[in-house]
Structure 1
Amino acid sequence: MKIKAGLERIPGGLMMIPLLLGAVTNTLFPTAAKTFGSFTGALMTGALPILSVFFFCMGATIDFKATPYILKKGGALLGSKILAGTLLGLLAAQFMPTGMVESGVFAGLSVLAIVASMNDTNGGLYMALIGQYGKKEDGGAYTLMSMESGPFFTMLTLGIAGLAAFPWEAFVGAILPLLVGMVLGNLDHELRDFVKPAIPILIPFFAFGLGNTLNLTTVWKSGLLGVLLGIAVVVVTGTVLIIADKLTGGNGVAGIAAASTAGNAAAVPAAIASIDKTYAGIAPSATMLVATCVIVTAVLVPLATALWAKWVNADQRKEVVN
């Protein structure tokens, strides 16, 4: 059986399928973690420890010796995406004073879901699209963009919006595994090479743990709303990123290729809720909305990138002819 190959054919499959399996388990057998206990219970409830290792490994891949071009391009894309998420989060906070829509068509939508879905780029998708449609050197920009990983920037946005008051220790704790990984990975490149393969391996395990915090009724409710939020991620961040890419000498391909939601972004709501318990009620619906964005953007971004690259190349050919 080619289970791994089957999962990889599904957009975000290594994240989504274990997440849904966890949600099915929690919906049908909500006491399973307590019943089995021991290592089984730990796997079903231990997403945060696995995530801390995941962020350490991510940090170890960030190279301090990035070339000036990579720093310029990566910094522009990183800053633009975070800025777009922050501004939209601040705007949403004006209409959601409690941080979440309680009723109506948009019930379940939260500032937490909006910011988390906008803040983090799907690195694998970005690299694949750059390899096919973009410039080779733009691929290195993700070295810097991977700093989006984790809850730090989402915490910062919620704090700025006045929807949370995190102690400074929480901010340090949120980014410390990433920073320690960065330092050690740059001090010892053999260590970097050692932990790098663990990044994709850890994804299905923390996804299963996150799934065990969800109920399938929440999944059903987030369907259409999650699709709309995914479209918004591509349109809003895509527009901002294309502008940033062009301002740094690009043609917009790298910008639109980065307008996605990373699979690990679905872990951010739970991480936030573990720090600020007032988000415990918001985190489940936010997790499913962000997870839906992962799928939607994984489908839309390649299509949008291909169309944009075709348009840019056609435009360039016209200029050559003229």
Structure 2
Amino acid sequence: MVMKAFKKVPGGTMIIPLMLGVLTNTFLPRFLEMGSFTTALFSSSGQNTMLGMMFFIMGTSLQLKEIPAVFKRGGVLLISKFIIGAGIGIAVGKIFGMEGLLGISTLAIISSITNSNGSVYLSLMKVYGDPVDCASMAVLGINNGPFLTMLALGAGGLANIPVQSLMASIVPLIIGMILGNLDESFAKFMEPGSNILIPFIGFSVGAGINLRAVAMGGIQGVVLGLVCFFVGGLFIMMCDRLIGKRPGYASWAVATAAGNAVAVPATIAAIDPAWLPYVDGATAQVAAAVVITAVLAPIGTSYWVKRYGSPQFPKYPGQFDAAKVEINHGNSAKELA
């Protein structure tokens, strides 16, 4: 009965646990604060551990020859998301100033659209994509935090990329990849684990979201979330299809606002005090956008997959055969599509 419910809902293995996590955090937050194994497993504090496990498992299935494809796919998604977020934000800032448009500040626009929710992306790619899609998260990790926001606001000279944190996020992937390439049977042994983790990651993501954030952000926060997903997603999808030569399903999975983007406005204001008057409003609006996009991404990705297919759900036999990574005569990786 449970699996039937999961299958009836687009991206159900993630979206249903995610919504249960949201409802629990909103109305029964003390349940998540019980401590011990309950808090470790079901609260948002368990998210990083489970994501680390997911990175390790997907690393075991990633072959060395696929690395160029990882940078290509991840790079297209990363750069296109930055361009659309920075483009909209800078245009609004130039025309309307720091106050922004319709009560949505420039700071809120750039903070939300240039960041993406890695947990949502990774879970959806495990359901619909292939190991290269999943491993692209290592590239997308660059947009988690204030760096790209600062760059878009013209504060790139003050930005400090946390190289150690970035490296720490991909170590599980690298270790898994080494072991998987050394022993194919080990990769096969680990493979079922990623599917098991998806509902738990979904719940932990939801456990970090409070529906009151939507109310605090008001209609402006809802509008920001819709712009982040539909406008941002449309642009990323076009780049994914035209430049990456992909069907576009990954673009909707990355058209989200990251949970840690909520802290970006305050971080920017600490560097440039001119933004201080806009921090509270921008924080509430970004929080609302996080909730809106976390719900829309699984639905939108599932819809796109049904129309155009994905590696896990091809529209017709052999649809993705031409996109497989092959080794040419020079022993270098080449992605044909």
Distance 1:255 1:54 in 2: 24
Instruction: Write the distance in 1 (CA, Å) between the matches of 2:201 and 2:100.
Output: 28
Q: d(CA) in 1 for partners of 2:263 and 2:175?
A: 21
Q: Calculate the TM-score normalised by the size of structure 1.
A: 0.68
SS in structure 2 at match of 1:11 = coil
Q: CA deviation at 1:16?
A: 1.7
- Give the deviation of 1:65 after TM superposition: 3.2
- Aligned-partner SS, 1:31: helix
In the other structure, the counterpart of 2:259 is: 269
Deviation by residue 1:262-313 (Cα, 9 ceiling, x = unmatched): 69x77x534x77999849957744532431331342254246538xx99xxx
Q: 1:168 to 1:16 in 2, by over 3 A?
A: same
Measured against aligned partners, the alpha-carbon deviations of 1:89-118 in whole angstroms (never above 9, x if no partner) come to: 332453579xx9899464795435323449
Residue in 2 that maps onto 1:240 = 239
1:146 equivalent to 2:130? Answer no
Q: 1:275 to 1:6 in 2, by over 3 A?
A: same
Counterpart in the other structure of 1:316: none
Report the CA distance shift for 1:28/1:180 in structure 2 as closer, same or farther (over 3 A): same
Shift of 1:39: 0.9
CA distance in 2, matches of 1:24, 1:53: 25
Structure 2 counterpart of 1:195, one-letter code? M
Secondary structure of the structure 2 residue equivalent to 1:197? helix
Cα gap change, 1:102 to 1:245, in 2 (>3 Å): closer
Alignment match, 2:298: 295
Taking a change above 3 Å as real, the CA distance of residues 10 and 20 of structure 1, as seen in their structure-2 partners, is: same
CA contact (8 A) 2:259 2:290 kept: yes
Range with bigger deviation, 14-23 or 25-34: 25-34
Which 5+ residue runs of structure 1 have no aligned equivalent? 128-141, 247-253, 311-322
The yes-or-no answer on 1:78 pairing with 2:70 is: no
Once the two structures are superposed, the pairs formed by residues 7-26 of structure 1 within 5 Å of their partners are: 7-26=6-25
Q: C-alpha offsets along residues 239-279 of structure 1, whole Å, 9 cap, x if unaligned?
A: 11222255xxxxxxx3334432069x77x534x77999849
Listed one character per residue, the Cα deviations across residues 40-97 of structure 1 (whole Å, up to 9, x for unaligned) are 122223221111111221222211134xxx956x654433222211222332453579
Q: 1:257 to 1:24 in 2, by over 3 A?
A: closer
Taking structure 1 as reference, are residues 278 and 213 closer, same or farther at Cα in structure 2, changes over 3 Å only? farther
Match of 1:314 in 2: none
What does the per-residue CA deviation read over 1:159-211, in whole Å, with 9 as the maximum and x for residues that have no partner? 64448634221121122222222222222222211222111211221222222
Question: Is contact 1:84-1:236 (8 Å) kept?
Answer: yes
Contact kept? 1:26, 1:212, Cα under 8 Å: yes
Structure 2 counterpart of 1:205: 200
- Indicate which of 140, 165, 180 corresponds to 1:185: 180
Amino acid corresponding to residue 40 of structure 1 in structure 2 = T
Distance 1:13 1:206, change over 3 A: same
Q: Which residue of 1 aligns with 2:46?
A: 46
Task: Provide the residue aligned with 2:333 in structure 1.
Answer: none
- Stretch of structure 1 that moved more, 50-59 or 281-290: 281-290
60 and 225 in structure 1: CA distance in 2 versus 1, 3 angstrom threshold: same
CA gap of 1:238–1:109, structure 2 versus 1, over 3 A, is same
Match in the other structure for 2:29: 30
In 2, are the aligned partners of 1:234 and 1:297 still within 8 Å (CA)?
no
Quickly say closer, same or farther: Cα 1:168–1:111, change in 2 above 3 A: same
* Partner residue in 1 for 2:252: 260
In the alignment, the residues of structure 1 paired with residue 71 and residue 204 of structure 2 have an alpha-carbon distance, to the nearest angstrom, of 32
Give secondary structure in 2 for the equivalent of 1:46. helix
Q: Is the 8 A contact 2:6 2:12 kept in 1?
A: yes
Match of 1:261, SS?
A: helix
AA of the residue aligned to 1:215: N
- For the structure 1 residues 158 and 177, does the alpha-carbon distance in structure 2 shift closer, same or farther, using more than 3 Å as the test? farther
Q: Is the 8 A contact 2:108 2:265 kept in 1?
A: no
**Any conservation in 2 of the 1:18–1:208 contact (CA below 8 Å)?**
yes
* 1:64 matches 2:53: no
Given that residues 226 and 289 in structure 2 are in contact (C-alpha distance below 8 angstroms), is that contact kept between their aligned partners in structure 1? no
Amino acid at match of 2:6: L
| Cα distance in 2 between the residues matched to 1:82 and 1:303 | 24
Q: How many residues align?
A: 276
From 303, 308, 321, the equivalent of 1:305 is: 308
CA pair 190-105 structure 1, distance change in 2 beyond 3 A? farther
